[in-house]
Amino acid sequence: MGDAARPTTLPCSPPAAHHHGPLHQTHCGTNNNCYDGSTTPYESRDYDSPGAGGQEYRGGNFENANDLSMPSQTAHHHHHHHHHHHHHPHLQTQEQQTTTDHHLHAVPKLEPPPTPPAQSEDVPGVVCAGCGLRISDRFYLQAVDRRWHAACLQCSHCRQGLDGEITCFSRDGNIYCKKDYYRDEYELGAYGYGKNNVKLLYVHRENALHHEIREYEVDTHLRLISQKDYMEGDNHDIIATDSQKNTVYLMAKKHGIRSPEEFALLLCSHFLYTYEQVAEVSINVEEYPWTRHYVYNVPHNHAFVMSPTATRYCQVSQLRNESPQIRGGLKGLRLLKSTQSSFTDFIQDEYRTLPDMNDRIFSTIVIATWDFSTATGVDFDKVWCTVKDCIMENFAGPPDTGIYSPSVQNTLYLTEKCILDKVKQIYSVEMQMPNKHYFALDFSKFSKLVQGPNKEVYLPVDKPSGIIYARLDRKTLCARL
């Protein structure tokens, strides 16, 4: 951890010179007189008789040198080491006092050297830790055990002057303002903000009696280009979460709703186009499973039934100046078949208690997600139905005979392959098929009370349960283009 210190104004009585390392030069500013130890004369002052019209730094301000008096040696803050020097006036020639402006050289700003540069033995003086030049001002600043011209005491990162600050911070030989000291110490990782669980029901009235409905729950998340809302408490770029909520309703009213994916794409486009400070938008949409009511196989015009066979959702994210990433999803699809499933020939060792099962109940709750390579020309409603049909086809099979499953792993793989075969706009699909166990009860102790092998009773067991998952990708890179 670095050090914190309070800049202190001290009289510039020249101590004995220390020789430590190379010279780092910078321009010291118009309020500081510098001497670099060379033969080029620089403007300097006698410590007892400041030059007329000069300015000196004192108490956070530059004042006329003639108005300054020597500060008492008790003015040091307790944060610093105290340095007391004997005063040796440095007598100068008239030629040195009348140098012209062309003798002052502005050079690029470099990092403060860790130690003062070497000085000629016949030119004693206090050396600035910022520019490496001799301080010929009557007063200088002391911070973190080093001496500075007022203009040279700057943050190494942002170059903000620190001569008027109460505290400055040091680490690895560099000085920082408080903001940049902690900015360099830590890095903000994932961040953003938004509005969750924005509920809406959209009704499209094709005529007086025939209606279409969609009920959604929407999450909007934004990441701004700047981090100043976190780092500095500056809220000027923030789009309030309440404003994001209002945007969801207004976009639904203005443009209507056709599918979760299209609505999420619309919201991404709106936030990026409307607010230039937004770097990334992420939208999650979950659809409530309303289905149209049928009366004697005739669809009702405006009556609907909540049919939670499976929940449809999507996740769409988009970076500025990049294409959107679209992920469709399905969850909560609970399936069970009472035969045409087995699990045999797995590892036999001292840890195994489960017997081979040539015929068992296969039950699971499917979670599936799929990533689109493009949004152009995609019927998202049709794709969702196709994915669901692939799941049912590979789990259940034909209605009369069904389809055999040697393991959950094999059924999952065949399902994912089916999805990629049928939907060319999908480049990757991922599924989870956890086991929902049903174990046969042992009635051997009740043989006189119950009979009949075809009447079986099972015990549902939810925990613990196995989990099987996999992702299947297209090998060709062009699938994402």
pLDDT (average), residues 443-472: 89
In this predicted model, what pLDDT tens digit does every residue of 23-74 receive, in sequence order?
333 333 334 333 333 333 333 333 333 333 434 334 444 444 333 333 343 3
Quote the DSSP letter at residue 217.
Answer: E
pLDDT band at 2 (very low <50, low <70, confident <90, very high): low
pLDDT at residue 13, as a whole number: 46
pLDDT at residue 250, as a whole number: 99
pLDDT (average), residues 443-455: 81
Q: pTM of the predicted model, to two decimals? A: 0.66
The residue to which tokens 């035969």 are assigned: 339
Amino acid 333 reads: L
Residues that are catalytic: 195, 241, 437
pLDDT (average), residues 110-116: 48
pLDDT band at 87 (very low <50, low <70, confident <90, very high): very low
Structure tokens at 48: 């007892």
Largest CA distance in the chain: 128
Enumerate domains of the chain plus CATH numbers.
141-184 (2.10.110.10), 189-300 (3.10.270.10), 323-345+356-480 (3.10.270.10)
Q: Give one DSSP letter per residue of 205-242, joined into a string.
A: ESSSS-EEEEEEEEEEEEEES--HHHHT---TT---HH
Q: Give the 3-state secondary structure of residue 293.
A: strand
Q: Give one DSSP letter per residue of 310-363, joined into a string.
A: -EEEEEEEEETTSPPEEEEEEEEEEEEESSSB-B-S---STT--PPPBSS--EE
Q: Give the 3-state secondary structure of residue 168.
A: strand
Structure tokens at 411: 């059924």
Give the lowest-confidence range in 35-39, 82-86, 110-114, 215-219.
Answer: 35-39
Closest among 200, 191, 203, 238 to 219, alpha carbons compared: 200
Spell 158-172 as b/e; 16+ CB within 10 A means b. eeeebbebeebbbee
Q: Give the 3-state secondary structure of residue 90.
A: coil
**Residue 193 to residue 308: CA distance in whole angstroms:** 30
pLDDT at residue 80, as a whole number: 40
Strands ordered across the beta sheet of 362-372: 193-205, 211-224, 278-287, 311-319, 325-337, 362-372, 426-432, 469-473
Alpha carbon 253 to its chain centroid, in Å, reads 32
Averaged pLDDT of the chain? 79
pLDDT at residue 7, as a whole number: 56
pLDDT at residue 6, as a whole number: 52
